[in-house]
């Protein structure tokens, strides 16, 4: 009984080693394929970094323009409220107008000075 079990296990081990020998070339081929995929990925990523840097630079410029436009709109609205408050002698409208004007000027300064500094945070 034990001899039959030993013989069966021996045949199974031989079959497994035969199957493993058949997979060795596929294993080497898969390593080569992985290296080719890695090389292709790197070849695609490095030019994309230059494109991404140009995109981010353009996005920062557009963000600055948008912030300045919002600040300008808010500042104009503040001037209108301020003039309305002086015209009607309404201290609440004057207060709101000066706050909006200052907030608009702050956004304009943010768009002019701080937003362009975002480019210095990115590695080149």
Which tens digit of pLDDT belongs to each residue from 1-12? 566 656 665 666
Residue 15: domain span: 2-121
Q: What is the distance between the terminal CA atoms of the chain, rounded to a whole angstrom?
A: 74
Average pLDDT score over the chain: 80
User: What is the number of domains present in the chain?
Assistant: 1
In the prediction, which pLDDT does 9 show? 57
29-40 pLDDT, tens digit per residue, is: 677 777 777 777
Q: What is the pLDDT at residue 39?
A: 75
Torsion of CA 15, 17, 19, 23, to 10 degrees: 180
Give residue 107's pLDDT: 95
Q: Provide the b/e sequence for 19-38 (b: ≥16 CB within 10 Å).
A: eeeeeeeeeeeeeeeeeeee
């Amino acid at each position: 009984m034990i001899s039959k079990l030993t013989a069966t296990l021996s045949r199974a081990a031989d079959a497994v080693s035969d199957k493993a020998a058949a997979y060795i070339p596929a294993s080497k081929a898969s390593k080569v394929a992985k290296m080719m995929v890695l090389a292709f990925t790197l070849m695609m990523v490095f030019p994309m970094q230059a494109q991404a840097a140009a995109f981010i630079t353009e996005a920062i410029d557009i963000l600055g323009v948008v912030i300045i436009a919002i600040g300008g709109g808010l500042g104009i609205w503040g001037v209108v409220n301020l003039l309305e408050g002086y015209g009607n002698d309404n201290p609440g409208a004057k207060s709101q107008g000066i706050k909006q004007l200052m907030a608009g000027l702050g956004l304009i300064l943010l768009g002019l000075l701080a937003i362009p500094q975002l480019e210095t945070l990115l590695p080149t």
